[in-house]
Amino acid sequence: MQWIRGETIGCGSTSTVSLAIPKKGSDHQCLPMMAVKSCSVWDSSLVENEKEILDELGSCPYIIKSFGDCCSFENGVRFYNLLLEYASGGSLANRVKQAGGFLPESDVKRYTNSILKGLRHIHANGFAHCDIKLHNLLLLGDDEVKIADFGLARRTGQKQSRAEIRGTPLYMSPESVNDNEYGTAGDIWALGCAVVEMFTGKPAWNCKPETNVMALLIRIGVGDELPTIPVEMSELGKDFLSKCFVKDPRKRWSAEMLLEHPFVCTTTNDHSVVSLKPRQRSCSSSPTGPFDFPDWVCGQPSPTTSESWSIRAVESRFGSLTSPADRVRRLASDQTCNWSRSVSWVNVR
């Protein structure tokens, strides 16, 4: 592919990103303006890894496309070049700054939905991104967000040959700090950090710029401390983040499960957030018998009610997700339950 290098639009530790315009008269002139990620051929392992993974992932509307690679010789230096889809809207990090330091929750929900769809595709194909953050989430001209920068991505299940810090410390998960484990669950933790940063304009971990990296990693890996969930968020948003910020990666929700959460999949006609508050009971006295609940609704709930995302609805599709104590606490709450399911009922006399 013949192309002309344009202005530099981004820089990384080992590579630069420039505009790339197909040459007039070339076979690829019909292609739109592209971005080219370039680095020295002697230090091209990350960019080559990105190319290989993008090829394996194939086409996905929520992931930046690859148009191929090539080598060039410029100013006495031999470069390895990866041609990519150009995101004219810049990164989500820039969008947050342009918006005054934070985004409205409606935008956060919309962007998060697209990011989750991209992660679902990545994870389903056996990879983990390992560096989800606002700088690696790019916006196209139609304001659609796509996941970019797969230099640190890896196939899940690979054994780590040595201890390493893979990714950005502020977005690292507890298992990556403690056990050198970088998998799909780590991407979900990082997504939660990105959601907090979109909503507040600040890192999910409340720390000063001069904070020592090792001190931050100790906070992430040791003890029960979790990233701060913004109090200004809706109850749906807080609940969504609580599914991302789970210390045990085995209990953390997956991208597939989170796409069923109403924070990203359910809105009303005016795009306002669906309330999480349980229905209020009209009776003021305690029930006197097992069937003394005239205000309970036993019919099939509407898909937009809180029952549609309750733990029972999720369990019916994905299996048990909580401990027995959690289920007892949920049953003891005043949230109404749907007793119409008959999957595991038995007849008694």
Q: Which residues are catalytic?
A: 131
Q: 146 - beta bridge partners?
A: 138
Sorted by sequence, the CB contacts under 8 Å of residue 283 that are 6+ apart come out as 294, 295
37 known member of a binding site: yes
Distances (CA, A) of 68 to 5, 47, 60, 136, 154: 15, 12, 16, 20, 20
Angle at 221 between CA 216 and CA 226, to 5 degrees: 80
Residue 119 CA to residue 255 CA, distance in Å, equals 6
Question: Which of helix, strand or coil describes residue 154?
Answer: strand
Residue with tokens 């595709």: 121
Contact (CB, 8 A) for 314 and 321: yes
Contact (CB, 8 A) for 115 and 147: yes
Q: What is the CA radius of gyration of the chain?
A: 24
Q: Which two tokens stand for residue 63?
A: 């992931």
Contact (CB, 8 A) for 106 and 271: yes
Contact (CB, 8 A) for 308 and 266: yes
Contact (CB, 8 A) for 309 and 260: yes
The amino acid occupying position 49 is: N
Helices (H), the chain: 45-57, 92-98, 105-124, 174-179, 184-200, 213-221, 235-244, 255-258, 262-265, 311-318, 324-332
The amino acid occupying position 144 is: E
Residue 23 CA to residue 6 CA, distance in Å, equals 12
Annotated binding-site residue numbers for ATP: 37
Annotated binding-site residue numbers: 37
